[in-house]
Amino acid sequence: MPVYSGRRRAAALLVLGGICAVSSDPSPGQWETWHRNTGVTCIHNLLLPNDRLVCIERPQERPYGINLNTMGETAVEIDISQPDQPFQINPIHKNAFCGGHAQLADGTVLVVGGDARSLEADGIPFLYDGRKGVRLYRPCEADAVAAGTCKKGTWEDQPEMSTNRWYPTVTTLQDGSAIIVGGTMDHLDFGSLDHVDNPTYEYFPPKTGGTWPRQLDLLAWAFPHNLYPFVFQLAESNHVFVFASNRTVLIDPQTDAVDHRIPDLPLDADQAPMTYPHSATAVVLPMTIANNWTMTIQICGGSKLSDQGAASANCYQISPDDPNASWKRVADLATARLMPDSVLLPTGQVLYLNGVSRGVAGGNGGQVQYAQDPVFQPDLYDPTSDTHTLLPAAASVGRLYHASALLTQSGHVLTTGSEMQNYVDYVAGRTECWGVPLGMDPSDHAPTGEAVCTLPFGHTIERFTPPYLQGVDEATRAHVASLPESASYGQAFAVTASLPADRVQRVVALRYTSSTHGLNTDQRLVELVIRSRKDTQLEVVAPRDGRRAPPGRWHLFLLNASGVPGTARPIMFGDSTTGIKSTRQKSGSVSRQSAPTTTAWLTFSAVGIAGASMLAYLFL
């Protein structure tokens, strides 16, 4: 893989790209360091109630050695309600790195698949091959958190899948089940693609009738651009939207019939396949009263087709419930981004952040030569006007490969992760600091270390205050004072506000999320109908059904007349009964006296994809 030219000084890493339909806004937003040590690199982020976050990382690779924060354990739980709260190690026994996850109807988080790498200490394994793994994470109960008796949730092992899955997508469906789509049998090496494709899908809980897993021709066609496909529950039918490369199919989970009526993404634009490693981001735009709760999916970013080293600013939309649905090109991102994250905001806007302006996704921790020039400024998108605003406030931390972002109940946005923090060494031309060189013998020792080079692991969280919270009089924000723990679909329920109810303009629900690799199939915003207002109480109607609002835990936000949200509280929508029988795995670190050693050395080289070898796989 060639090293891309045009490297820039660290002080000039912002790439402002070609801007289309960009507006200006006097409120820049504000960044602050929220956690200075998360314990692990937050590659996988699972949002929990009570302002908690589960982070999962990749076992650290040579030449860096194990993560001494956790003695090699790969999962922690963090209190994100206040800055710099201590992390709680919560071992996950089957390696979940590069797995998929989704928030389930009962408030647990499903985590499936992962990586083959295992670890041991004193000859005793403590991290196992996770490619067939199925796990549930059960959060602490609110009263136990308040009493201080529960510091972290519990992992509950489920029966394994029958097949390996690395980079699968998991999406919760309208009936509370989850669909598991794609992945490969092992880590992906573009130089050796034989015997790794797994173009299949299945369900959790598993279906009992027929042969499973079942092949999906879209995934077979798109390989190797079929990893972490974009998968969403449709709002007006039971069908499931599945997008890989530039092509879409709809699956009916009741019959497993596959519908090909959605046209391909147009080829006339300068756009490479929009899934890994030319990773774009996809989001379901807000479903509001004003747009009659229409479901529109927007995909943005990725790589150009003409120059696969250059990020793309292209954005496309489709409303897949429309019987004549077709893709349309909409306003470009304010700046081109590869590996962006998209975060729905309670105001109905979308915040695009993280990512880089050159390269491809992939590589071992520290192999920063595959993606450079992090983009530090957020892009605020308004769906109603189809305009992007490049906010002046720049993050202090670059978020490259294996970064993520999520919304909190306060209305702030957190950015996490990245295994390429040694990009500053790359910019400075310090070639000895680029991680494990390609072709390096695993027994060799690269000339790296904290005293010599910047460690690549991003163990910090930054918090972004969006413009709508800047300079706001707290007394004017409408916070949720009380609401029921759950509501059935279509049910009217009472919400008590911190302000008189006539000062609440809108009520929106935002689903709890789990995010990784720019993928977040959980997030969705649904505006709720306000039936009546009296004193500080509002009568609000829950979403119509699980198609519009998949069951599970949601934030409920109140917005005042200025469109400023208050602090949310959680509510469960839909039937939380899933009939899942789980096997509880005891949480806590394995007792050991010495640092673990690896039982196997795996080279993650899903990065050698330039030139003819990559072109051979474009739009097959």
Establish if 258 belongs to a structural domain. no
Torsion angle in degrees (nearest 10) through CA of 293, 294, 295, 300: -110
| Beta strands, E only, 2-74 | 30-35, 44-48, 52-56
Are 466 and 485 members of one domain?
Answer: no
Which pLDDT value is given to residue 123?
87
Q: How confident is the model at residue 616 (pLDDT cuts 50, 70, 90)?
A: very low
Domain end point (choices 470, 494, 510): 470
Residue 196 in this model has a pLDDT that exceeds 60? yes
Name the token pair of 223. Answer: 């390989």
Give residue 592's identity as a one-letter amino acid code.
Answer: R
Quickly tell me which residue has 């147009």 as its tokens. Answer: 266
- The pLDDT assigned to 435 comes to 54
239-270 residue pLDDT tens:
999 999 999 999 999 999 999 999 999 877 88
Cα separation of the two ends of the chain: 22
Share of the chain above pLDDT 70, in %: 85
- Asked, for residue 41, whether it belongs to a domain, the answer is no
Residue 15 falls within a domain, yes or no?
no
- Provide the pLDDT for residue 6: 27
pLDDT of 517 > 90? The answer is: yes
* pLDDT tops 60 at residue 611: no
Does 363 share its domain with 423?
yes
- The conformation of residue 476, written as its DSSP 8-state character, comes to G
Question: Is residue 346 domain-shared with residue 391, that is, in the same domain?
Answer: yes
pTM for the full model? 0.89
pLDDT at residue number 577: 64
Q: Mean pLDDT across the stretch 15-29?
A: 47
> Residue 68: CB partners within 8 Å, gap ≥ 6?
595
* 554 in the same domain as 423: no
The chain-wide mean pLDDT, for the chain, equals 87
Q: How confident is the model at residue 327 (pLDDT cuts 50, 70, 90)?
A: very high
**Structural domain that includes position 306:** 276-470
Last residue of a domain, one of 470, 492, 520: 470
CATH of the domain at 540: 2.60.40.10
Same domain, 385 and 456: yes
pLDDT given at position 576: 73
Q: Exposed, middle or buried, 87 (CB in 10 Å: 0-12/13-18/19+)?
A: buried
More confident site: 18 or 445? 445
Q: Which of 164, 280, 170 lies closest to 225 in space, CA to CA?
A: 280
Asked if residue 303 lies in contact with residue 337, where contact means CB atoms within 8 angstroms, the answer is no
Q: 393 and 339, same structural domain?
A: yes
Do 305 and 448 fall into the same domain? yes
Q: What pLDDT is attached to residue 2?
A: 26
**What average pLDDT does the segment 267-277 reach?**
89
Segment 144-161, tens digit of pLDDT: 988 889 999 999 999 999
Looking at the structure, tell me whether residues 412 and 533 fall in a common domain: no
CA atoms within 13 A on the CB side of 180: 34
Question: 408, 438, 470 — which closes off a domain?
Answer: 470
Residue 85 has pLDDT above 70, yes or no: yes
Residue 356 forms part of a structural domain: yes
pLDDT at 589 over 60: no
Distance CA 70, CA 415 (A): 21
Q: Are residues 354 and 418 in the same domain?
A: yes
* Confidence at residue 411, expressed as pLDDT on a 0 to 100 scale: 98
For the residues 27-54, what does the mean pLDDT come to? 96
Question: What is the model's pLDDT at position 192?
Answer: 78
For residues 173, 176, 182, 185, the Cα torsion angle rounded to the nearest 10 degrees is: 170
Domains: count for the chain = 2
- Answer yes or no: do 421 and 524 share one domain: no
Would 464 be classed as within a structural domain? yes
Q: Write out pLDDT tens, residues 284-320.
A: 999 999 999 999 999 999 999 988 789 999 999 999 9
Q: How confident is the model at residue 603 (pLDDT cuts 50, 70, 90)?
A: very low
Q: Does residue 29 sit within a domain?
A: no
Mean pLDDT of 331-353: 98
Lateral strand order in the sheet of 480-482 = 480-482, 492-497, 537-541, 525-534, 504-511, 552-560, 569-573, 486-487
Predicted pLDDT of residue 451: 52
Preceding peptide of 224 cis, ω within 30°: yes
Alpha helices in 132-239 (DSSP H): 142-147, 217-222
